Amino acid sequence: MSTRDRSHSPYRPDPPALLRCRRCARLVAHREAVARQKRRAYADQRYWGKPVPGFGDSGARVLLLGLAPGAHGSNRTGRMFTGDASGDFLYPALYRLGFASQPKANDAADGMTLWDMFITAVVRCVPPHNQPQREEIAACRSWLARDAALPNIRCVVALGRIAHEAYLELLRQQGEPIVKSHLPFAHAAEYPCPAGKTLLDSYHVSFQNTNTGRLTGAMFDTVLARARQVAGLPLV
Protein backbone atom coordinates (compact mmCIF):
# COMPACT_ATOMS: atom_id res chain seq x y z
CA MET A 1 0.00 0.00 0.00
CA SER A 2 1.44 3.41 -0.91
CA THR A 3 2.01 6.15 1.63
CA ARG A 4 -0.74 8.22 0.04
CA ASP A 5 -3.29 5.41 0.38
CA ARG A 6 -2.68 4.34 3.94
CA SER A 7 -4.70 5.35 6.97
CA HIS A 8 -3.30 8.08 9.20
CA SER A 9 -3.69 9.49 12.68
CA PRO A 10 -5.86 12.61 12.76
CA TYR A 11 -4.70 16.13 13.42
CA ARG A 12 -4.33 16.64 17.15
CA PRO A 13 -5.89 19.98 18.10
CA ASP A 14 -4.01 22.33 20.35
CA PRO A 15 -5.69 23.18 23.66
CA PRO A 16 -8.12 26.11 23.72
CA ALA A 17 -5.57 27.97 25.81
CA LEU A 18 -3.41 28.40 22.69
CA LEU A 19 -6.15 30.23 20.81
CA ARG A 20 -6.67 32.51 23.80
CA CYS A 21 -2.95 33.17 24.27
CA ARG A 22 -2.02 36.84 24.72
CA ARG A 23 1.43 36.43 26.25
CA CYS A 24 3.18 38.76 23.81
CA ALA A 25 1.59 42.21 23.62
CA ARG A 26 3.50 43.21 20.47
CA LEU A 27 2.44 40.08 18.57
CA VAL A 28 -1.16 40.30 19.73
CA ALA A 29 -1.38 43.90 18.56
CA HIS A 30 0.18 43.08 15.20
CA ARG A 31 -1.80 39.94 14.39
CA GLU A 32 -5.06 41.74 15.19
CA ALA A 33 -4.12 44.89 13.27
CA VAL A 34 -3.32 42.82 10.18
CA ALA A 35 -6.64 41.00 10.56
CA ARG A 36 -8.51 44.32 10.69
CA GLN A 37 -6.67 46.12 7.92
CA LYS A 38 -6.41 43.12 5.55
CA ARG A 39 -4.84 43.02 2.13
CA ARG A 40 -6.97 44.40 -0.66
CA ALA A 41 -7.08 41.03 -2.43
CA TYR A 42 -8.66 39.47 0.67
CA ALA A 43 -10.82 42.39 1.77
CA ASP A 44 -13.99 40.27 1.67
CA GLN A 45 -12.49 37.50 3.83
CA ARG A 46 -12.54 37.13 7.58
CA TYR A 47 -8.99 36.81 8.88
CA TRP A 48 -8.05 34.27 11.54
CA GLY A 49 -6.04 36.81 13.56
CA LYS A 50 -5.17 34.41 16.42
CA PRO A 51 -2.31 32.03 17.29
CA VAL A 52 -2.04 29.39 14.56
CA PRO A 53 -2.17 25.76 15.76
CA GLY A 54 0.07 23.00 14.52
CA PHE A 55 -1.25 20.88 11.69
CA GLY A 56 -0.82 17.35 10.45
CA ASP A 57 -0.54 13.70 11.44
CA SER A 58 -0.45 13.11 15.19
CA GLY A 59 1.42 9.87 14.49
CA ALA A 60 4.03 11.70 12.39
CA ARG A 61 7.65 10.65 12.30
CA VAL A 62 8.74 13.99 10.79
CA LEU A 63 8.23 17.37 12.45
CA LEU A 64 8.53 20.36 10.11
CA LEU A 65 9.45 23.46 12.10
CA GLY A 66 8.86 26.86 10.53
CA LEU A 67 9.40 30.36 11.84
CA ALA A 68 5.99 32.00 12.27
CA PRO A 69 2.66 32.53 10.49
CA GLY A 70 2.60 34.76 7.43
CA ALA A 71 0.63 38.00 7.76
CA HIS A 72 -1.76 37.25 4.89
CA GLY A 73 -1.21 33.49 4.78
CA SER A 74 -1.60 31.62 8.07
CA ASN A 75 -2.77 34.71 9.95
CA ARG A 76 -5.59 34.88 7.40
CA THR A 77 -6.43 31.20 6.90
CA GLY A 78 -5.62 29.79 10.34
CA ARG A 79 -3.49 26.91 9.03
CA MET A 80 0.27 26.64 8.78
CA PHE A 81 1.78 27.71 5.43
CA THR A 82 -1.64 28.03 3.84
CA GLY A 83 -2.58 30.82 1.46
CA ASP A 84 0.77 32.43 0.68
CA ALA A 85 3.88 32.06 -1.45
CA SER A 86 5.70 29.93 1.12
CA GLY A 87 2.88 27.42 1.04
CA ASP A 88 2.83 27.53 -2.75
CA PHE A 89 6.40 26.20 -2.62
CA LEU A 90 6.07 23.91 0.40
CA TYR A 91 2.94 21.87 -0.28
CA PRO A 92 3.82 20.79 -3.84
CA ALA A 93 7.10 19.49 -2.42
CA LEU A 94 5.30 17.66 0.38
CA TYR A 95 2.98 16.15 -2.22
CA ARG A 96 5.89 15.03 -4.42
CA LEU A 97 7.60 13.37 -1.46
CA GLY A 98 4.47 11.60 -0.19
CA PHE A 99 3.74 13.72 2.86
CA ALA A 100 0.63 15.54 1.57
CA SER A 101 -2.59 14.49 -0.13
CA GLN A 102 -2.63 17.42 -2.57
CA PRO A 103 -0.19 20.01 -3.92
CA LYS A 104 -2.23 23.15 -3.23
CA ALA A 105 -3.13 24.72 0.10
CA ASN A 106 -5.27 27.80 -0.26
CA ASP A 107 -7.79 27.38 2.53
CA ALA A 108 -7.98 25.55 5.85
CA ALA A 109 -11.09 23.72 4.63
CA ASP A 110 -9.57 22.48 1.37
CA GLY A 111 -9.31 18.84 2.51
CA MET A 112 -5.52 18.75 2.85
CA THR A 113 -4.25 15.71 4.73
CA LEU A 114 -0.67 15.14 5.87
CA TRP A 115 0.89 11.71 6.35
CA ASP A 116 3.85 11.11 8.65
CA MET A 117 4.38 14.86 9.04
CA PHE A 118 3.32 17.45 11.56
CA ILE A 119 3.91 21.15 10.85
CA THR A 120 4.46 23.70 13.58
CA ALA A 121 6.32 26.96 14.14
CA VAL A 122 8.69 28.60 16.57
CA VAL A 123 6.23 31.45 17.12
CA ARG A 124 2.48 30.99 16.66
CA CYS A 125 1.54 34.64 15.97
CA VAL A 126 2.65 36.70 13.00
CA PRO A 127 5.53 39.03 13.99
CA PRO A 128 6.15 42.45 12.45
CA HIS A 129 8.55 42.15 9.50
CA ASN A 130 8.70 38.35 10.11
CA GLN A 131 11.15 38.99 12.95
CA PRO A 132 10.12 37.60 16.35
CA GLN A 133 12.01 38.91 19.35
CA ARG A 134 13.97 36.64 21.66
CA GLU A 135 11.48 36.97 24.51
CA GLU A 136 8.61 36.11 22.15
CA ILE A 137 10.37 32.94 21.04
CA ALA A 138 10.86 32.03 24.70
CA ALA A 139 7.21 32.77 25.52
CA CYS A 140 6.06 30.42 22.75
CA ARG A 141 8.44 27.60 23.70
CA SER A 142 5.84 25.65 25.67
CA TRP A 143 3.69 25.30 22.55
CA LEU A 144 6.69 24.10 20.56
CA ALA A 145 7.52 21.62 23.33
CA ARG A 146 4.04 20.16 23.06
CA ASP A 147 4.37 19.44 19.35
CA ALA A 148 7.98 18.27 19.60
CA ALA A 149 6.80 15.69 22.16
CA LEU A 150 4.61 13.84 19.65
CA PRO A 151 5.52 10.22 20.38
CA ASN A 152 6.69 8.99 16.98
CA ILE A 153 8.88 11.92 15.85
CA ARG A 154 12.23 10.74 14.52
CA CYS A 155 13.31 13.70 12.39
CA VAL A 156 12.92 17.46 12.92
CA VAL A 157 13.29 19.53 9.75
CA ALA A 158 14.19 23.07 10.77
CA LEU A 159 13.34 25.71 8.19
CA GLY A 160 15.95 28.38 8.70
CA ARG A 161 18.46 29.35 11.36
CA ILE A 162 15.91 30.62 13.91
CA ALA A 163 13.99 27.33 13.80
CA HIS A 164 17.27 25.41 14.10
CA GLU A 165 18.36 27.39 17.14
CA ALA A 166 14.89 27.30 18.72
CA TYR A 167 14.81 23.51 18.62
CA LEU A 168 18.29 23.25 20.12
CA GLU A 169 17.33 25.72 22.84
CA LEU A 170 14.23 23.65 23.60
CA LEU A 171 16.44 20.59 24.09
CA ARG A 172 18.80 22.60 26.29
CA GLN A 173 15.91 23.86 28.41
CA GLN A 174 14.79 20.25 28.81
CA GLY A 175 18.14 19.40 30.36
CA GLU A 176 20.00 17.99 27.37
CA PRO A 177 23.74 18.79 27.16
CA ILE A 178 23.45 20.89 24.01
CA VAL A 179 26.27 23.19 22.93
CA LYS A 180 24.69 25.22 20.16
CA SER A 181 28.00 26.54 18.84
CA HIS A 182 28.96 22.95 18.01
CA LEU A 183 25.82 22.51 15.91
CA PRO A 184 25.75 25.40 13.41
CA PHE A 185 22.90 25.90 10.97
CA ALA A 186 23.61 25.03 7.35
CA HIS A 187 21.35 23.89 4.56
CA ALA A 188 21.16 20.06 4.54
CA ALA A 189 23.18 19.84 7.77
CA GLU A 190 22.24 16.83 9.89
CA TYR A 191 22.77 16.36 13.61
CA PRO A 192 21.93 13.47 15.95
CA CYS A 193 19.77 14.51 18.89
CA PRO A 194 18.58 12.79 22.08
CA ALA A 195 15.99 10.03 22.07
CA GLY A 196 17.05 8.78 18.66
CA LYS A 197 15.94 11.92 16.83
CA THR A 198 17.77 13.78 14.09
CA LEU A 199 17.81 17.51 13.35
CA LEU A 200 17.88 18.22 9.63
CA ASP A 201 18.29 21.77 8.35
CA SER A 202 16.90 23.53 5.30
CA TYR A 203 16.78 27.09 4.12
CA HIS A 204 13.35 28.52 4.85
CA VAL A 205 10.72 28.18 2.12
CA SER A 206 10.15 31.95 2.13
CA PHE A 207 9.48 33.75 -1.13
CA GLN A 208 12.72 35.65 -0.62
CA ASN A 209 14.68 32.38 -0.73
CA THR A 210 12.72 30.55 -3.41
CA ASN A 211 12.36 33.53 -5.75
CA THR A 212 16.10 34.20 -5.73
CA GLY A 213 17.09 30.56 -6.20
CA ARG A 214 18.75 30.30 -2.81
CA LEU A 215 16.37 27.38 -2.24
CA THR A 216 15.24 25.42 -5.28
CA GLY A 217 12.65 22.69 -5.54
CA ALA A 218 15.37 20.13 -6.15
CA MET A 219 17.30 21.25 -3.08
CA PHE A 220 14.24 21.01 -0.88
CA ASP A 221 13.19 17.66 -2.33
CA THR A 222 16.60 16.30 -1.36
CA VAL A 223 16.09 17.43 2.24
CA LEU A 224 12.62 15.91 2.40
CA ALA A 225 13.85 12.65 0.88
CA ARG A 226 16.58 12.52 3.51
CA ALA A 227 13.96 13.19 6.20
CA ARG A 228 12.05 10.13 5.02
CA GLN A 229 15.19 8.01 5.20
CA VAL A 230 16.13 9.25 8.67
CA ALA A 231 12.58 8.64 9.91
CA GLY A 232 12.53 5.11 8.50
CA LEU A 233 9.89 5.88 5.88
CA PRO A 234 9.92 4.40 2.37
CA LEU A 235 10.89 6.68 -0.46
CA VAL A 236 8.15 7.51 -2.95
Q: What is the pLDDT of residues 134-193, one digit of tens each?
A: 999 999 999 999 999 999 999 999 999 999 999 999 999 999 999 999 999 999 999 999
Confidence of residue 12 (pLDDT cuts 50, 70, 90): confident
Residue 140 lies in a domain: yes
Residue 200 lies in a domain: yes
Work out the percent of the chain whose per-residue pLDDT is above 70.
95
Residue 4 lies in a domain: no
Residue 8 lies in a domain: no
Residue closest to 191 by CA, chosen among 219, 216, 167: 167
Indicate the average pLDDT of the chain. Answer: 94
Q: Which whole number is the average pLDDT over 63-83?
A: 97
Residue 24 lies in a domain: yes
Residue 10 lies in a domain: no
Instruction: Quote the pLDDT of residue 236.
Output: 87
Q: What angle do CA 54, 176, 122 make, to 5 degrees?
A: 25
Q: Which whole number is the average pLDDT over 211-215?
A: 97
Q: What's the domain count of the chain?
A: 1
Domain extent at residue 202: 16-230
Q: 11 near 111, Cβ under 8 Å?
A: no
Residue 5 lies in a domain: no
